[in-house]
């Protein structure tokens, strides 16, 4: 293989592909990034970078490069990235021989690195390329859906299905749902579904890495399709293929079925600031919950710890009887931080029943938080 490529394009490509490099590889080749140079029948060249940890695989879209000789080689990802980003010139020449000895040159700098046979690198599963079977939606919206739900993914490996997010697609919407032992996050997006319904569980790691790659550009789109075992994401810069999680997800719709007795409409930013201030008195939010007292159009927020006490008060719109309820403050602030709307609605039934948090006037955001028993 022999190619000449711009340094900035290489750095960007490695930064994307290396997100799928195994942190604890069972084989040395899984710590590598695969470089592949090809020419098609018309003579046009294609240069790509790919990493695969057997659970998650990422391949860049073709990077602009002069393909002087076809071939492939797998290089240690961390070393390759460090070399490329520190090279002095703007153009990089990469050459590898039949023994996988790879020479990297730029200006007067030269590195010789022993790589691995590219033919031994694990390939990405073939999920087909039928455009009619791909769901398509704005990339920025998908990125927001991840950001607004990923914080409540379970870390309990004894229930592996909950260590990911449910992607639930019906006739006219897609829902992303995550849940742990004390809370649930649901984000819905309405879109034109021309493919059909689907339900898959995507690992949290996959969604976290996709979120890093996705642009915030409002014009960009993301396409995806799933099989029984894998899901493929087609991004502007790369193709991502991930294994799906097996097992049964919870029946999340039932968790929002009960009718609340009290509804509180409140300014989101003001509530967030008050809870964060009230929590300053506690070093451990798990052991020292905050208390929210709803009465006469007000929320009184207090926290009582061995270090002292705090008191906050907010004026709200209240519909229903008053009550007192305790929460781990982080579980409430996690929700309020990811929302971008001015007002939220808290739906409550009793001091021991879950709190439902929604955006005022919208059913696209639903959060379920279990309370803490107050002493």
Q: Which of 346, 298, 339 has its CA nearest to residue 322?
A: 298
Q: Which residues contact 247 (CB under 8 A, 6 or more apart)?
A: 159, 160, 161, 201
The 10s digit of each residue's pLDDT in 119-138 is: 999 998 887 766 668 999 99
Percentages (nearest 5) of helix, strand, coil residues in the chain: 25, 40, 35
User: pLDDT 10s digit of each residue in the chain, 375 long?
Assistant: 999 999 999 999 999 999 999 877 778 899 999 999 998 777 678 999 999 999 999 999 999 999 999 999 999 999 999 999 999 999 999 999 999 999 999 999 999 999 999 999 999 888 776 666 899 999 999 999 999 999 999 999 899 999 999 999 998 999 999 999 899 999 999 998 889 999 999 999 999 999 999 987 778 999 999 999 999 999 999 999 999 999 999 999 988 888 999 999 999 999 999 999 999 998 776 678 999 999 999 999 999 988 899 999 999 999 999 999 999 999 999 999 999 999 999 999 999 999 999 999 999 999 999 999 877
Q: Are 314 and 266 in contact (CB under 8 A)?
A: yes
Burial of 210 (0-12, 13-18, 19+ CB in 10 A): buried
Domains with residue ranges and CATH for the chain: 2-120 (3.10.150.10), 131-252 (3.10.150.10), 258-369 (3.10.150.10)
> From CA 299, how far away is CA 285, in angstroms rounded?
19
Q: Are strands 317-319 and 323-327 parallel, antiparallel or unpaired?
A: unpaired
Within its chain, how far is the Cα of 67 from the centroid?
34
User: Which pLDDT score, from 0 to 100, does residue 359 have?
Assistant: 97
DSSP 45-94: EEEEEEEE-SSEEEEEPPBPEEEEE-EEEEEEHHHHHHHHHH-SSSEEEE
262-267, strands of its sheet edge to edge: 198-203, 164-169, 173-179, 183-190, 365-369, 355-359, 343-348, 262-267, 317-319
pLDDT digits (tens, 9 = 90+) for 201-220: 999 999 999 999 998 777 89
- 3-class secondary structure, 122: coil
Q: What is the pLDDT of residue 24?
A: 78
């Amino acid at each position: 293989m022999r190619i000449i490529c711009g340094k900035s394009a290489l750095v960007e490509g490695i930064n994307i592909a290396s997100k799928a490099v195994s942190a604890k590889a069972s084989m040395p080749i899984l710590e590598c990034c695969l470089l592949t140079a090809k020419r098609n029948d018309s003579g046009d060249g294609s240069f790509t970078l790919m990493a695969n940890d057997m659970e998650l695989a990422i391949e860049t879209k073709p990077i602009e490069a002069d393909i002087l000789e076809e071939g492939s080689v797998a290089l240690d990802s961390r070393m390759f990235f460090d070399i490329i980003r520190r090279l002095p010139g703007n153009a990089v020449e990469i050459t590898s021989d039949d023994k996988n000895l790879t020479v990297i040159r730029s200006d007067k700098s030269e590195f010789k690195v022993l790589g691995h046979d590219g033919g031994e690198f694990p390939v990405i599963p073939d999920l087909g390329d039928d455009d009619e079977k791909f769901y398509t939606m704005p990339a920025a919206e998908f990125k927001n859906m991840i950001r607004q739900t990923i914080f409540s993914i379970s870390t309990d490996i004894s229930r592996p299905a909950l260590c990911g997010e449910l992607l639930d697609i019906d006739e006219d919407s897609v829902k992303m749902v995550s849940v742990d032992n004390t809370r649930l996050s649901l984000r819905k997006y309405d879109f034109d579904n021309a493919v059909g319904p689907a339900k898959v569980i995507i690992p949290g790691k996959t969604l976290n890495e996709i979120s890093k790659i996705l642009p915030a550009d409002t014009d960009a789109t993301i396409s995806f399709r799933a099989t029984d075992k894998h899901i493929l994401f087609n991004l502007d810069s790369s193709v991502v293929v991930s294994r799906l999680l097996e097992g049964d997800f919870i029946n999340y719709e039932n968790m929002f079925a009960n009718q609340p007795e009290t509804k509180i409409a409140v300014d989101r930013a003001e509530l967030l600031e008050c809870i964060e201030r009230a929590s300053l008195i506690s070093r451990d939010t798990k052991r020292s919950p905050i208390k929210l007292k709803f009465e006469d159009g007000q929320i009184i927020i207090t926290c009582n710890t061995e270090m002292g006490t705090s008191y906050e008060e907010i004026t709200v719109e209240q519909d229903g009887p008053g009550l007192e309820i305790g929460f781990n403050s982080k579980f409430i602030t996690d929700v309020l931080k990811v929302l971008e709307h001015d007002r939220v609605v808290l739906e409550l039934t009793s001091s021991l029943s879950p709190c439902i948090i929604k955006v005022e006037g919208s059913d696209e955001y639903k959060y379920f938080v279990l309370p803490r028993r107050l002493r």
